[in-house]
Amino acid sequence: MFLSVFDMFKVGIGPSSSHTMGPMVAAARFLDEMRASPFAFHGLRASLHGSLAFTGVGHATDRATILGLAGFVPDTYDAEKAEKMLAEIKASGKIRPEGLPELSFDPDRDLLFDFDTVLEGHANGMMLMATDAQGDVTLRETYYSIGGGFVMTEAELADGKDTEEGPPIPFPFKSAAQMLEMSAASGRSIAEMKRSNEAARGGVENLKSGTKRLWQVMNDCINRGLTTDGILPGGLSVKRRAKGIYDKLLEERGMNLTAPHTINDWMSVYAMAVNEENAAGGQVVTAPTNGAAGVLPATLRYYLDHVPGASEAHVEEFLLTAAAIGGLVKFNASISGAEAGCQAEVGSASAMSAAGLCAVMGGTPEQVENAAEIALEHHLGMTCDPVKGLVQVPCIERNGLGAIKAVSAASLALRGDGTHLVPLDACIETMRQTGADMSEKYKETSLGGLAVNVPNC
């Protein structure tokens, strides 16, 4: 199994990797299909299903789909241009993608939220259609946004398509047990094995520059969130809190009477800063998703700013280790809230973060695996029940607590020798089973939990 660090961590936009980035990516792929088709097209249609329908407005899925069909992609997204484009499309009922003729598309008529038709492949399903001059569909494709910005067509999902394309990799571990066996046999750390795999596919220089950019975008996102206040969009009137908390923490710095548990507030505020930016539609890095994007940057910032002897030279090791753990979770279970609840998002992010922190603090591969297991185990059963379908409540605070759990898990693992009762593989399988058994009400549909017990306006 190979899942690149640049697959696990992708630069994109808020508020959701599966509901915003995924549909935009799917639309871009559909435009490529149209460009390669011999047919003459005159119009576009789209339908959203499952979780994409139920929480699509709150997650900006409609906007993302429209903009994707207009040629926008997450990693080069320009907010100002996007707003102008949306206004033009709504006013004219036309879309003009590059390399294609002008196409009719009325968002009110041609974008359907289909709450009744269930697509079998995944909870996040959408159909994109191109029509001829008579309005008949001449090209149709079903896409599934499977979490973290990953997108598969119906055929790819049915065929079990994964990322096993490309040159062979030296350490093709598919489980934590295999990962530890290969580490022991080779004498290499998890990060070193992951680095060798990445080098086999993309080259060391690309790895160095790419991971540096990932951390830069993450850290910039934290800093923006720490210095921006106001009300988040969406109608819940949720107030940004990170700046106020950060300002108070700065005032208390150096005071002899500061309680030791204040360090938890630092971890939380870093994570909340990211997820407030995400909720506002800002630039974030999936880690492994947008809804859980604050956990890992907060843990890494905690390490760099608060741990004696920390160095940015270890950022690549942190990200590589975290990506290795994230790949195991995605391959053997899920990182999608619509598929397995928030245990799959914040739980996975916390496990990845705990592993990364344990590694850069000198942990052995066995201790790293233990750290990931502790963090994931104590998120098992966590539901995804966003109020009003917005990635705000309880998502923003939840990322802060996920970071605290990650640091605690790494610390506990470092106090031991790596031996423990529950293997990471067993914990990942338990998460998969729990997600399969979980009611759909608690899997990003906003039909249960806090979403129905808290007033939405």
pLDDT digits (tens, 9 = 90+) for 279-296: 999 999 999 999 999 999
Report the pLDDT value the prediction gives residue 164, as an integer from 0 to 100.
Answer: 57
Dihedral, CA atoms, 376, 378, 383, 386, nearest 10 degrees?
-90
Per the prediction, the chain carries an average pLDDT of: 95
End-to-end CA distance of the chain: give it in Å, rounded. Answer: 45
Q: How confident is the model at residue 165 (pLDDT cuts 50, 70, 90)?
A: low
User: What distance in Å separates the CA atoms of residue 286 and residue 24, rounded to the nearest whole number?
Assistant: 15
Quick: pLDDT tens for 18-63: 999 999 999 999 999 999 999 999 999 999 999 999 999 999 999 9
DSSP per position, 11-55 = EEESS-IIIIIHHHHHHHHHHHHHHH-SS---EEEEEEEEHHHHT
Report the pLDDT value the prediction gives residue 258, as an integer from 0 to 100.
Answer: 87
pTM, rounded to two decimals: 0.93
Looking at the predicted structure, is the pLDDT value of residue 265 above 50? yes
User: What distance in Å separates the CA atoms of residue 271 and residue 316, rounded to the nearest whole number?
Assistant: 20
Report the pLDDT value the prediction gives residue 131, as an integer from 0 to 100.
Answer: 98
Q: How confident is the model at residue 456 (pLDDT cuts 50, 70, 90)?
A: confident
Average pLDDT over residues 197-212: 90
Looking at the predicted structure, is the pLDDT value of residue 122 above 90? yes
**Alpha helices per DSSP H over 78-189:** 79-92, 107-110, 154-158, 176-186
Average pLDDT over residues 130-159: 95
Average pLDDT over residues 339-343: 98
Looking at the predicted structure, is the pLDDT value of residue 411 above 70? yes
Helix (H, G, I), strand (E, B) or coil at 327: helix
Inter-residue contact 208 to 365 (CB < 8 Å)? no
Residue with tokens 């435009």: 31
Sorted by sequence, the CB contacts under 8 Å of residue 12 that are 6+ apart come out as: 20, 21, 74, 75, 77, 149, 283, 284, 285, 286, 290
Looking at the predicted structure, is the pLDDT value of residue 110 above 80? yes
Q: How many CB atoms lie within 10 A of CB 263?
A: 15
Selected residue with higher pLDDT from 123 and 160: 123
Looking at the predicted structure, is the pLDDT value of residue 193 above 60? yes
User: What distance in Å separates the CA atoms of residue 65 and residue 71, rounded to the nearest whole number?
Assistant: 10
Report the pLDDT value the prediction gives residue 79, as an integer from 0 to 100.
Answer: 87
Average pLDDT over residues 143-167: 84
Strand-strand pairing, 111-114 and 43-50: parallel
Q: How many CB atoms lie within 10 A of CB 155?
A: 11
Q: How confident is the model at residue 457 (pLDDT cuts 50, 70, 90)?
A: low
Among the ranges given (80-84, 165-169, 233-237, 283-287), the one the predictor scored with the smallest mean pLDDT: 165-169
